[in-house]
Amino acid sequence: MGTRAEIALDSSALGRLRSRLADAQFGPRLGDDWEHGVSHAWLTELLADWQRYEPARLQTRLDGMEHRRVELDGLSIHLVQTPGVGRSPLPLVLTHGWPGSFLEYAELVPLLADPESHGADSDDAFVVVTPSLPGFGFSDTPPRALSSRETASLWRRMMNALGHEQFVAHGSDLGAGVTGWLARDHGDAVLGIHLATPGLALPRSVEGSHEERRFAHEVADWNRREGGYMHEHSTKPATLAAALSDSPAGLAAWVGEKLVAWSSMRADGSPALTRERMLDTLTLYWATGTIAGSLLPYWAFSRHPEAQLSPGDPAPTPTAISIFGGERVPFPKPPRDLAERFYTVSDWEEHERGGHFPALAEPALLAADLRKAFASLRGG
């Protein structure tokens, strides 16, 4: 069942954070319009807010969760397990991406575990498992970069160790890759999956549909304009990690710019991701010293192409996909016919809001999609 764990933010790391924030160096002012990257004015305000931030509030949130550890292949994997309130809750594992953590799902979990208390049917309850990816949060950093396929194998064993022989799964960003491999390799245990922001490989030739060719063009253009972070992660992660691990200003700039760019926007132009949740994320990365480990999946992806999910012969596992929009910097929207090269698509939803972090921006919307996706997979 995994071992119950007490989780605490490292007090010495928090002490270093306070002193480094008080002496933050910004460099020359290159602009405040985000065209050069992070806005100087925005970063200045963020760091001032981080100085006023109270880590004790985050620790209180952590204390209210049921933390467990599962030992797998010499790695201690951290997870939060939330029991379901209903007749027969369905086990569900939620896998986050970058730059995220298990905290990404904190507002979503109650809606899934206790739906009746949030205006939904108690028969739609889930037992919710939210692990920290290897190298993230309170999980160990692996001695070598693990592929999404290898992490999927760990997740199947993790769920079995928790007593869940069969389960369903959701993932976004890096988590979508892990969840895709759960469907492809572990269909005997995985009843169905749901994906948000799924990573889909582009057609190798120009013989795809018109929509696939459009998507390929949009992805190439997005990578030219926005993909520098990904190239650095996948080629020189140790160099970047040294800088981000030493400087909270650098960490806030590198991670914060993506949190703003990829968040959906409110009517007033502010990100749907609140400032407090942004600072929770930054503090977790700093206090656990895991920004370095969080870069490793990109290295693994670039070095092990054989472990990338390939099109053709999709697994029969039912796969529901939700496409969320409204980001400040829009992501290309993949066409359904491309997704059907990879998955047995059982449901397809497109939303104008939610962005890259729908669990934070629109938890009720994502919860409704998850209940719908897995409704037919519950026992009679």
- Tens digit of each residue's pLDDT (9 = 90 or more) over 202-230: 766 546 788 888 998 999 999 999 999 99
Please report the pLDDT score of residue 310 as a whole number.
Answer: 83
Distance CA 155, CA 95 (A): 9
Distance CA 375, CA 89 (A): 11
Please report the pLDDT score of residue 358 as a whole number.
Answer: 97
Distance CA 353, CA 369 (A): 13
Distance CA 128, CA 115 (A): 12
Listed residue (170, 362, 198) closest to 264, CA to CA: 362
332 cis-preceded (ω within 30 degrees of 0): no
What are the sequence ranges of the domains in the chain? 3-377
Residue 22, token pair as written in the block: 């008080």
Distance CA 220, CA 341 (A): 20
As a dihedral over the C-alpha atoms of residue 134, residue 135, residue 136, residue 139, rounded to 10 degrees, the angle is 60
Question: What's the pTM value of the predicted model, to 2 decimals?
Answer: 0.96
φ, ψ (nearest 5 deg) of residue 106: -60, -40
Please report the pLDDT score of residue 183 as a whole number.
Answer: 96
Could you tell me the CA-to-CA distances from 166 to 9, 156, 184, 345 in Å, in that order? 33, 9, 15, 20
Distance CA 121, CA 363 (A): 16
CB 319 within 8 A of CB 344: yes
Domain 3-377 is in which class?
A: alpha beta
Spans of the chain below 70 pLDDT: 1, 203-207, 380
Angle, in degrees to the nearest 10, between helices 210-226 and 228-235: 80
pLDDT by residue (tens digit) across 241-292? Answer: 999 999 999 999 999 999 999 999 988 878 899 999 999 999 999 999 999 9
Could you tell me the CA-to-CA distances from 344 to 93, 155, 235, 341, 348 in Å, in that order? 19, 21, 33, 8, 11
Please, what sign has the CA dihedral across residues 188, 75, 137, 68? positive
Residue 352: strand pairing partners: none
Amino acid 57 reads R
Please report the pLDDT score of residue 380 as a whole number.
Answer: 53
Distance CA 313, CA 34 (A): 42
Please report the pLDDT score of residue 31 as a whole number.
Answer: 74
* Residues counted in the chain: 380
